[in-house]
Structure 1
Amino acid sequence: MTLAEARSLTFAHRRKVFLVSTPTIRGLSRIEREFEASDQRRYHVPCPHCGHVQWLKFERLRWDKGQPDTAEYHCEGCDAAIAEHHKTAMLAAGEWRATAESEDPGTVGYHLSALYSPVGWLGWTRIARAHEAARGSDEALRAFRNTVLGETWMETGEAPDWQRLADRREAWAPGTVPEKGLFLTAGADVQKDRIEVDVWAWGRGLESWLVDHIVIEGGPGDPDCWQTLTDLLVRTWAHERGQHLTIARFAIDSGFETSAVYAWARQVGFAQVAPVKGLEGFNRASPVTGPTYVDATIGGKRLRRGARLWSVATSTFKAETYRFLRQDRPTPEEITAGASFPPGTVHLPSWADAEWLKQLTAEQLVTVKSRRGFTKLEWQKLRERNEALDCRVYARAAAWIAGADRWSEARWADLEDQLGVAKANETDTGQGAAPRAQGRTAPRRRTMRSSYMG
């Protein structure tokens, strides 16, 4: 950017330099830095009811929960609801106004979100619907904030207090899958003298439960260690409703003893096991990419494209985990009255000890400067051991690889039916399940039961 501006100096006073971009991460976005150095102009429009002039903010777009079709903008002056059809006249009567505190920043800057989109383009109802669809996914929410609102995404990497997490622990037996857990994934962290594995259950909205914590002594140089790991792939965990579940996807870190990890993954098959490699940084198109075929050295022999490797943006999943852990929860009284936990809630069992909780909260997101003077976000350890956090990230990546972030309502409903969760709820409440939407009768398709249902 500096070089491009320097080359424009040849044109002296006739030059114009335009910097146009969608913002990215707060504190790292170049266009954010340039906009903050400008006079920060926003497009102000008058309220059709009271005439109050304002610039449009997303927090004033309101709708009934789960009903984006009711979206209306509320004036910050009179709080009256403004319907979509008023927008045409509002835009025609609007004007750009500088909002920067500096009197003469020397640069003109403009910001415009999709809230100003003309009638017939991207309306308020579609914006509300897009936000509803993005809830529960950091990647989707970040894309919404960057592309629809034109705002930076704030990565929140503050580690929650482990003692507060201890106070929130819930009672269920080790190895038992709570009722709303619909499938299992596992994350394995390979150490010099052991392999640690955490098994997580996942439900709708990526709500999750720690089901098991397993430490396999011996390390990657011990054949018995790998055999024990193999046995986990066929082991079953009892669901609260009587079914038995196996691990749908098993993600194992390949950063240490890579050859041994590849050899084991080839032996047991890549259909269930996913060797993963962590990547730093937030500015990635997807939190998980792959698989890519990589060369593997097995038994002293080099095999071209001998292993499948998944790349995982660990920073993204760490930030998501900490955000989920800090979420407010309903009180016991509200739960008794029928309140549900917010999407992404992380449930921890009473048998998760202090050491495990400290490992889960062992890192902090900080802003550091590189040698060239650029700032970046970086995860730093608060304590030496962080296996619980790493295993959580790998298990979360396994859920992404299994497709949980992209499953349809029908897919979740099918898992509930296979486990008897929906039928159990009907029995407990004495009421029938909510009727599904009726449409044209479609040809019957063959239904395959999930292979990880025991």
Structure 2
Amino acid sequence: MTSPALNPAAFSNPSGVAAAIQSALSMLRPPPDLKPSEWAEMNLRIPEGNAKPGPYRIANAPYQREPMDMFVDPECHRATLMWGAQVGKTLTALVVQGYGIEMRPQSQMMMQPSQGDVQTWLETKFNPLVESSRTISRLVAKPRGRDGVNNQRMKSYPGGFMMMAWSGSPKTMRGRSAPLIVCDEVDGYERTEEGHPVGLLWQRSATFEDERFLLEISTPTLKGASYIEDMFEAGDQRRFHVACPHCHEHQCLKWSNVTWQGRRSTDVVDYEEDLHDEHKPDTAGYCCQGCGAVWSDGERMAAIRQAESVGAGWVASKPFNGHASYHLWEAYSLFRRLSGIVRDYLDKLRTDDIQTFVNVCLAQTYEIKGDRVDPTGLLSRGEVYPADAPMGVLYITAGVDMQSDRLELEIVGWGAGEESWSLGYQILHGDPMMDDVWQDLDDVLAGEFRHESGMRMRIQAACLDTGGTSGYTQRAYEYLKGRTGRRLFGIKGVGGWGRPVVEKGMKKQSGKRLRNVDLYLVGVDEAKLMTMRRLANEAPGPGYCHLPSDRYDLEGWARQVTAERLVVRYVKGQPVREWHKPDKARNEALDCRNYALAALKIMAPSFNRLAERLASYMARGGEGPTEPALRAENVEIPQMATPEPSKQTAPIRRPAQAGRPGVKKNWVTGWK
């Protein structure tokens, strides 16, 4: 607010004195009680280089009003903007920050993904805004001035300061807190050892209690790995509704309702239907979900401008709990025609870059199509086996995964061509630092199986994952020592393409007498690929995976074993293959299956010889050797060379767990 100037000549007469006094008193008036959106219209100018430079007008983006004003809502302490391009998400944040400088002075934290992003934001967004606004430029300290700080790490002003931070540098966050926090492009943040950067800043602002406010904005990225989508779903999920100019039904704009000549897809999930050359983008319009009328661009824009005045606007789908979350995509921009959006869509189709369109234009997460089996398809395979181990089973292995509070294991029967039968899945609850859970594991591994031929079988080899924290790893070594003769092997998963499924690793020493423990390395990337492709095999025979319908929670198992998918990312123009697991997914079942496979590869039994022995046993009418007939010979474990793994560039995104499958208890003894 500019102070009124006093005119000394006005004091030469009584009326002038009165006017001077009135002018002086006006300087003592408090600033007007403006909301952020009102303050923006009175004080902000959009710098040159933007779509519509000049004085800020909320009518050009009416959907920005409510998110801005949530800053002064005493009931709201967090706002999440999952917005696309061309809708002003950065400007919305700048208004909140400017309001926090002039109207409600307080300290602020501003976070970007990287230091370079901070510098770009200062040079292209914040500094031009300060320079174009008389009120803010008067308050923010001048560069190299003596009245405050103005650099790339901090901006000072009366009543507070703005500190800059970036996610890749924990030290820029450590020991800092402020009541107002703005986090830009949060899906680009690197997680630190201490946790997610936004969560760290939010936690450190707890001392401000009800005075704190967090604004987090971003376009989303990958399904299951998008922080902004998680936070949007944690809020009350607001979408901007408009009224149809024909039937007046209120509705939010959807990509599926955009129509043009040549469109064959129904939504973005079936975009491949639009891979043809018969499109006419200039015919694009919006089809009302109520009456089916097709709106022109002018009608769509008018509906957006008038939304709040007709009782539409932002509508939440969940109860408000202090966290307002907003979704908005490019069709709401009053500076974008639908024909332009359609052209962008078709361009991305031609260049095989549909993810960019989904993320940036639609403001939706992109679900990658990769090597993954549909878990629902596995459920239809459920069988009721005629015996503990069906006729095709010639060899049995187990894979054991160690967690901090339990052991999980799968028992797998193998036949010719490595056709497999899942014989059981068990969860052994207990602290691996204690003896009880290991005794339970001994009992399970000693279980007996009745083969369909009548023969008795046992688990002939097993692999135990020794990964994890050092304490648990050492405890696993202690369990393994002395059990190599029982063909129980310690393993450690290693990444990298080109590795064998299993290779001899190193010897680890454990116990007071420092007894050696053989450790095998499992090439997890190749093992997962082999397992996934076998699960995708729909014809019984070599490689096929048989699944039981009545021995454990098959649905839970299927979710876990298919939790990951092989995707291809491009890093510096080069394709990189990697396994992607959604943040909340669990994959212990996949690990157990791979470890059971590793046990088979270590022992390398001759299925032809085992089949001959089984045939001989059956020819004798079930008389003669039983379980030992199906054991592999006492072969020497081969020393496998460790090849150089293929060089892979680090992933460009953080991909960065579904419920564990429940299992019927005592399934081993229950089969007798």
TM-score norm. by structure 1 comes to: 0.52
Identify if the C-alpha distance between structure 1 residues 168 and 310 changes in structure 2 by more than 3 Å, giving closer, same or farther.
Answer: same
**2:542 is the counterpart of 1:343:** yes
Q: Which residue of 2 aligns with 1:172?
A: 385
Superimposed CA distance per residue, residues 22-80 of structure 1 (whole angstroms, 9 cap, x where no aligned partner): xxxxxxxxxxxxxxxxxxxxxxxxxxxxxxxxxxxxxxxxxxxxxxxxxxxxxxxxxxx
- Amino acid of the residue matched to residue 558 of structure 2? L
| Partners of 1:198 and 1:274 in 2: CA distance | 15
Structure 2 spans left out of the alignment, 5+ residues: 1-368, 623-627, 634-672
Taking the TM superposition and a 5 Å limit, the aligned residue runs for 1:5-404 are: 158-172=371-385, 176-256=388-468, 257-284=472-499, 286-290=500-504, 292-296=506-510, 298=511, 301=512, 303=514, 306-329=516-539, 341-351=540-550, 352-353=552-553, 354-369=555-570, 374-382=574-582, 383-404=584-605
Same amino acid, percent of matched pairs = 33
Q: Report the CA distance between 1:271 and its aligned residue.
A: 4.0
Identify if the C-alpha distance between structure 1 residues 181 and 198 changes in structure 2 by more than 3 Å, giving closer, same or farther.
Answer: same
Superimposed CA distance per residue, residues 371-417 of structure 1 (whole angstroms, 9 cap, x where no aligned partner): x765431112134211111000000111111104xx26334322443
Identify if the C-alpha distance between structure 1 residues 209 and 291 changes in structure 2 by more than 3 Å, giving closer, same or farther.
Answer: same
Q: Give the 3-state SS of the residue equivalent to 1:176 in structure 2.
A: coil
Q: Report the CA distance between 1:281 and its aligned residue.
A: 1.8
Superimposed CA distance per residue, residues 393-447 of structure 1 (whole angstroms, 9 cap, x where no aligned partner): 000111111104xx263343224434x3x7789xxxxxxxxxxxxxxxxxxxxxx
Identify if the C-alpha distance between structure 1 residues 266 and 238 changes in structure 2 by more than 3 Å, giving closer, same or farther.
Answer: same
- The structure whose Rg is larger is 2
| Partners of 2:494 and 2:370 in 1: CA distance | 17
| Partners of 2:493 and 2:598 in 1: CA distance | 10
The answer to whether the 8 Å contact 1:281/1:377 transfers is no
The answer to whether the 8 Å contact 2:408/2:425 transfers is yes
| Partners of 1:413 and 1:324 in 2: CA distance | 25
Q: Report the CA distance between 1:364 and its aligned residue.
A: 0.7
Superimposed CA distance per residue, residues 319-352 of structure 1 (whole angstroms, 9 cap, x where no aligned partner): 11111111232xxxxxxxxxxx231100011134
The aligned length equals 255
| Partners of 1:294 and 1:375 in 2: CA distance | 37
| Partners of 2:451 and 2:590 in 1: CA distance | 24
Identify if the C-alpha distance between structure 1 residues 408 and 206 changes in structure 2 by more than 3 Å, giving closer, same or farther.
Answer: closer
Specify which structure has the bigger relative contact order, considering alpha-carbon pairs within 8 angstroms and separated by 6 or more residues: 1
Identify if the C-alpha distance between structure 1 residues 312 and 363 changes in structure 2 by more than 3 Å, giving closer, same or farther.
Answer: same
| Partners of 1:159 and 1:417 in 2: CA distance | 41
- Amino acid of the residue matched to residue 418 of structure 2? L
| Partners of 1:423 and 1:206 in 2: CA distance | 26
| Partners of 1:268 and 1:294 in 2: CA distance | 14
Identify if the C-alpha distance between structure 1 residues 183 and 222 changes in structure 2 by more than 3 Å, giving closer, same or farther.
Answer: same
Structure 1 spans left out of the alignment, 5+ residues: 1-155, 330-340, 426-447
| Partners of 2:462 and 2:406 in 1: CA distance | 17
Q: Give the 3-state SS of the residue equivalent to 1:215 in structure 2.
A: strand
TM-score norm. by structure 2 comes to: 0.36
Q: Give the 3-state SS of the residue equivalent to 2:384 in structure 1.
A: coil
Q: Report the CA distance between 1:266 and its aligned residue.
A: 0.7
Q: Give the 3-state SS of the residue equivalent to 2:383 in structure 1.
A: coil
Identify if the C-alpha distance between structure 1 residues 272 and 157 changes in structure 2 by more than 3 Å, giving closer, same or farther.
Answer: farther
Q: Report the CA distance between 1:157 and its aligned residue.
A: 5.7
Q: Report the CA distance between 1:270 and its aligned residue.
A: 4.6
Identify if the C-alpha distance between structure 1 residues 227 and 187 changes in structure 2 by more than 3 Å, giving closer, same or farther.
Answer: same
Q: Report the CA distance between 1:263 and its aligned residue.
A: 0.6
The structure 2 residue matched to 1:413, chosen from 595, 605, 612, is 612
| Partners of 1:218 and 1:408 in 2: CA distance | 36
Identify if the C-alpha distance between structure 1 residues 180 and 450 changes in structure 2 by more than 3 Å, giving closer, same or farther.
Answer: closer
Q: Give the 3-state SS of the residue equivalent to 2:382 in structure 1.
A: coil
The answer to whether the 8 Å contact 1:189/1:252 transfers is yes
The answer to whether the 8 Å contact 2:415/2:607 transfers is no
